[in-house]
Structure 1
Amino acid sequence: MNTYVKEELKRAFISKVAFGTMILSIALVFVGMFEYLSWISYGGISVLYIFLSGYNTGTANFLVIVFPILATLPFASSYVEDCKSGLIKYTYLRMQKRTYMYIRLVVNGIIGGTVLFIGPFVAFVFLMIAKTFTGMPMVKEHMETVAYFESIGVHSPLLMIIIILMTLFCCGFIIATIALGISTFIQNSYLTILIPFILYILSGTVLKSIYTNLNLLALYDVDYFGMSFTERILYGMILCIIGISCFFIGGFKNEEKAI
């Protein structure tokens, strides 16, 4: 089983799609930060302000728009591909179906979380290096995100960024899990990637008008208005459970066709 886990991790991470998605994640964050990078030499800006501009507040920020697609691109359609290629039949000869599904869930979630995490993480490392040479402060301006963190007892800018990075990883994990669960029912690689994005749009329009905390943006944005830290964790857990349940229900439903 350990050998298969390693094979799946290599398949997920060492691929053109995964590499391209990670590069895109990094590029989108730097595009969001670009207009503020020139301010560094003047000393009128902070590390946290620039980081947040690339993460969720910049006028040129696109990561906050396309994150559901990024999280699902590398591996969410892998189950569908295995079924169509017949690879899943040979996999079942090596291990139990339940074991295969557990491994697929974990690997898919890890790569989904990583592609969202990697862009802001690289930006954070870049800004910390820039801080070393320029003396740029960690935080200077009054921001809603800082106020939110201080309201829950977090006063360290470094810890704020670490929490944001962890939140992004969890967000990617959850979105990728939902997509994998959906894939067992629709059996279409393109729709597997597209449907989470459609759900994201609907959650920010239709569902938000019904109940504001149903917006999927709450998984991405740490200081999403009107939602407590506990509510965000519960929402993420519920969505993750739904994704896992769909994957097992749909997967076992397709068992006779797959074997």
Structure 2
Amino acid sequence: MPSSCPECGSSNVVEDDLYSQRQWVCVDCGSVVSEGHLTTTVSDETQGRAVPYHASTEVLKKPCRNLIAGFSRVRALCRILRLSSDMESAVVSLFERAYNHPNFIFVTLTKKEILGGCCVLSVCRQCNWPVAMGTIGYLLGVDNAALGTVYREFTKALNIEISTIGIMDMLESFCYDFKLGPQQVEEVFAEPAQRLVDRTSALIELAADAWIVTGRQPLPLLFAAVYLAWQSLNPTVSDVA
């Protein structure tokens, strides 16, 4: 309880319970001497610790529904392309970073889905995993031009160094994906994978010498080269094909 009124010096100070906030009032002059917990002394103010507004209202922020759906989508792409668990984790982390970037916050859901494909493509190239842009575009159902535009914007916004992959880098895994080994297909169609790789590599090199590879998409060239190599190694299938 205050000992005296600072305005008139009277010691006739009483507690007033008329309002919801506790306060002390001078009977002689009517001044409010103290308002309970709302008033502080100089020592209280100097020793107190300021609490920022964002800290006082901070709550645990959960990912939005679209971000959760994006995580599921990029994980599905990683498993289709048989990426390792470490690569999948890197893709998910990169997608969250890109999703919350100011350049991509207010874009359409279609562009955000393409953004997920860009994250997969970026991690694959950083890890020398042979995946073509056309493969990502096919899995997403978008054309290569749209994917390429978003990919360039994505690498620039996140300051990611673009690494290129050549057609020869994708050749071996591409040939093995056809599963034409003796244990995988009938003998009349079978061909050891390494022989197929060697013959396809020779055809690609021949096409490069003839300027057929220059300026073309890699996937159609790989399909054509593998098919020709397969037929040249086992001519009996040409009539069946």
TM range (shorter): under 0.3
Structure richer in strand, relative to its length: 2
Of structures 1 and 2, the one scoring higher in RCO (CA 8 A, sep 6+) is 1
Q: TM-score, normalised by structure 1?
A: 0.25
The normalised TM-score by structure 2 is 0.26
Identify, as 1 or 2, the structure richer in helix.
Answer: 1
- Higher Cα Rg, which structure: 2
